[in-house]
Amino acid sequence: MKKVLITGALGQIGTELVPFLREKYGTENVVASGHREKDVYTEVAENGPFELLDITDRERLAEVIDMHRIDTVYHLASLLSATGEEDPQALWAVNMDGLNNVLEAARSYNCAIFFPSSIAVFGPDSPKDKTPQDTIMRPTSIYGVSKVSGELLCDYYHSKYGLDIRGLRYPGVISSAALPGGGTTDYAVHIFYDAIKHGRYTCFLEENSSIDMIYMPDVLKGALNLMEADSEKLKHRNAFNVSAITVTPKKLAAEIKKHIPGFEIDYDIDPVRQAIADSWPNSLDDSAARREWGWQPQYDLAEMTKDMLKVLGERLK
């Protein structure tokens, strides 16, 4: 039986990955961790094993891995793209020192690692449409720089030390349980809250900014399927492009309008996040993931929108 540690367990993905993996491996075998005192009083912490853990504290990380006999780490702790531009040093400390600590601990305790990367690894020189798996990268945001460096470091630890490290390049993640914190793609979540609560939304990206998205059930399935994939079949292993929905604010608003006919969108552009969005791909080519380990997303734009409005509508009643 696996013994899993999830870092950043109270973030947008962690909040749903923890119960998903507890269901699969048993509650006692999935240790959640977060770095804020208040994390202790969350459902994720109260429903199973939980450790207070600041990912920049290497000794504490080793202690937690040792104490729980961890063999697999889902390393989700990370700052996102917009927050990163406000404080690049803080982003570097969490994203790079944090990853370095996880890799070193994994080396000592022989753990497998899941490392989520991002579309942010691409930059203005990358092909814009159906951006290939292997292509020019050179990101311009500090978040993208940290993710592409992270991908390379993961590959290095695999080739030098033989560690089993796998990862996906997630596009924008849409979900209903926890809000994203400080990303460029956050509009695609906020729009649902404001549509339900106020019938209107003011978007910080231009109406035709195209960025790929993925709905949470596909995020969770993707991570698990990759970690359970036959290692022999993985040519890339780490940093797989995955995608499900290619969308712009305008298209997403039109889809929401099918369910809430009075819904209105207007625009108040944030130049920082717009510049980041402009440097990212319009859409991704995820054929390597499909070929090597059977990636097959379930939710398209219509299905995701229907489900988000249903689930959030119930919750925000």
Q: Which residues are catalytic?
A: 143
Please identify, among the stretches 21-29, 42-50, 61-69, 112-120, the one whose residues bind ligand SER according to the rule CB under 6 A. 112-120
Candidate residues 185, 241, 243, 305; the one interacting with ligand SER per rule CB under 6 A: 185
Should residue 168 be labelled a site residue for ligand SER when binding is judged by CB under 6 A? no
Verify binding: residue 223, ligand SER, rule CB under 6 A. Answer: no
Cβ 117 to ligand SER shortest distance, Å: 8
Minimum CB separation of residue 82 from ligand SER in Å reads: 6
Exactly one of 143, 157, 192, 293 binds ligand SER (CB under 6 A); that residue is: 143
Could you say whether residue 184 binds ligand SER (CB under 6 A)?
yes
Nearest 10 degrees: Cα torsion 55, 218, 310, 317: 0
Q: Which is nearer to ligand SER, 3 or 166 (CB)?
A: 166
Residue of minimal CB distance from ligand SER? 183
Q: Which of these, 95, 91, 101, 222, lies nearest to 169 by C-alpha position?
A: 222
The least CB distance from residue 78 to ligand SER, in Å, is 9
Site string for ligand SER, 257-286 (x = CB under 6 A): ------------------------------
CB of 16 to ligand SER, least distance (A): 15
Q: With binding defined as CB under 6 A, does residue 95 bind ligand SER?
A: no
Residues numbered 45 to 64 that lie near ligand SER (CB under 6 A) are none
Binding-site member from 33, 118, 176, 238 for ligand SER (CB under 6 A) = 118
> Which positions from 59 through 88 interact with ligand SER, judged by CB under 6 A?
80-81
Q: Which residues bind ligand SER (CB under 6 A)?
A: 80-81, 118-120, 143, 170, 172-173, 183-185
